[in-house]
Amino acid sequence: MLSRYYKLIITFSFCLFVSSLVLIRVGSDQALSVPKLTAFAFNELTRRNSGPDVADYTCHHLKVGLQVGHWNNQHPPAELSWLVGNTGAYGGGLMEWESNHRIAVAAKQILEKHGIQVDLLEAVVPIRYQAAAFVSIHADGSDTNPSANGFKIAGPERDWSGRSKQLTESIRQKYAQVTKMPEDAHNITQNMTHYYSFSPDRFQHAIDSKTPATLLETGFLSNSGDQHFLIHHPEIPGEGLAQGLILFLDSQPGIDPCL
Ligand SMILES: [Zn+2]
């Protein structure tokens, strides 16, 4: 009778021992196979677990917004009704929005190869649009001075995010380097520094104040030299813009991909 109890106890202990070994093994495998959470992944998990009011579960990459100036501006909301008919520059057979669009698409292709998500935005941006950076793409034109040429770039006069200046400088540097265009820096206008899409204090359809922003005038559509880039080789200004954005994003290590 006693020996039967002993047998039972020994069998039970053996089973317990074997199951502990299995558990320890599984535990150590898991510990080995689960990588350390990066700050980005941690953010993502926190957001996923933070309740049903968080709508965007798909933000795995840094995202930038490229606004194609004057694109689809024929039916704006009432606050931006003055956009109707504002077609911008014209030259070399292209409307400004067409030139802006080609450059935006070229930049998008390069940025996506670097794992950066790109929103191509129309003249009216979503209400309080958020991204790691926002660039409005435009082109100049002059009816009276066909020799006017060069690019220029300016961020919002009131730098809501505190990082628009750095974004502007990064793109200025790379755009000049890649396109070798001269800079038309003396003709920055209030239309640039007080641009409607930069102004969340005046318009609903504007970027969120946390989003760094800038406006790039890519060159003069009315100038035969600039047309070389804008009309025949939009991939060159597109690359200058993309490289500038990458330079900026690389300088922002703590940036949240879910912005
Ligand atoms: Zn324009």
Q: pLDDT tens, 155-200?
A: 999 998 999 999 999 999 999 999 999 999 999 999 999 999 999 9
Q: Is 93 helix (H, G, I), strand (E, B) or coil?
A: coil
Q: Find the 191 Cα to ligand 1 centroid distance in Å.
A: 10
pLDDT at 59 over 70: no
pLDDT band at 233 (very low <50, low <70, confident <90, very high): very high
Tell whether pTM > 0.85: no
Alpha helices in the chain (DSSP H): 2-33, 39-48, 96-113, 164-179, 190-193, 224-227, 235-250
Q: Find the 178 Cα to ligand 1 centroid distance in Å.
A: 22
Mean pLDDT of all residues belonging to the chain: 83
- The confidence score (pLDDT) of residue 5 equals 55
Q: To which residue do tokens 């600039």 refer? A: 226
DSSP string of 203-219, one letter each residue: -SSSB-TTS-EEEEEEE
- The confidence score (pLDDT) of residue 4 equals 58
Mean of the pLDDT values across residues 84-106?
Answer: 95
Torsion of CA 120, 124, 128, 134, to 10 degrees: 40
Q: Find the 56 Cα to ligand 1 centroid distance in Å.
A: 32
Q: Find the 49 Cα to ligand 1 centroid distance in Å.
A: 42
**What are the tens digits of pLDDT across the range 192-205?**
999 999 999 999 99
Q: What is d(CA 198, CA 128) in angstroms, rounded to the nearest whole number?
A: 10
Q: Identify the CA nearest to 68 among candidates 117, 102, 118, 106.
A: 102
- The confidence score (pLDDT) of residue 195 equals 97
Q: Find the 159 Cα to ligand 1 centroid distance in Å.
A: 21
Q: Is 79 helix (H, G, I), strand (E, B) or coil?
A: helix
- The confidence score (pLDDT) of residue 29 equals 36
Structural contact between residues 154 and 168, judged by C-beta atoms closer than 8 angstroms: yes
- The confidence score (pLDDT) of residue 253 equals 73
Q: Find the 209 Cα to ligand 1 centroid distance in Å.
A: 22
Q: Find the 104 Cα to ligand 1 centroid distance in Å.
A: 13
The better pLDDT of the pair 198, 59 is held by 198
- The confidence score (pLDDT) of residue 12 equals 53
Structural contact between residues 154 and 214, judged by C-beta atoms closer than 8 angstroms: yes
- The confidence score (pLDDT) of residue 139 equals 98
Cβ atoms within 10 Å of 226's Cβ, excluding its own: 28
Q: Find the 125 Cα to ligand 1 centroid distance in Å.
A: 15
pLDDT band at 44 (very low <50, low <70, confident <90, very high): very low
- The confidence score (pLDDT) of residue 156 equals 97
Q: What is d(CA 196, CA 43) in angstroms, rounded to the nearest whole number?
A: 32
Mean pLDDT lowest among 17-21, 90-94, 118-122: 17-21
Q: Find the 95 Cα to ligand 1 centroid distance in Å.
A: 10
Mean of the pLDDT values across residues 92-120?
Answer: 96
Q: What is d(CA 136, CA 222) in angstroms, rounded to the nearest whole number?
A: 20
Mean of the pLDDT values across residues 21-31?
Answer: 38
Phi and psi based region of residue 92 (left: phi greater than 0; alpha: psi -120 to 50; beta: remaining): left
- The confidence score (pLDDT) of residue 54 equals 37
Q: What are the CA-CA distances from residue 229 to residues 154, 233, 238 (Å)?
A: 20, 5, 10
Q: Find the 218 Cα to ligand 1 centroid distance in Å.
A: 10
Structural contact between residues 187 and 147, judged by C-beta atoms closer than 8 angstroms: no
Joined tokens for residue 96 = 């400004």
Mean of the pLDDT values across residues 73-93?
Answer: 94
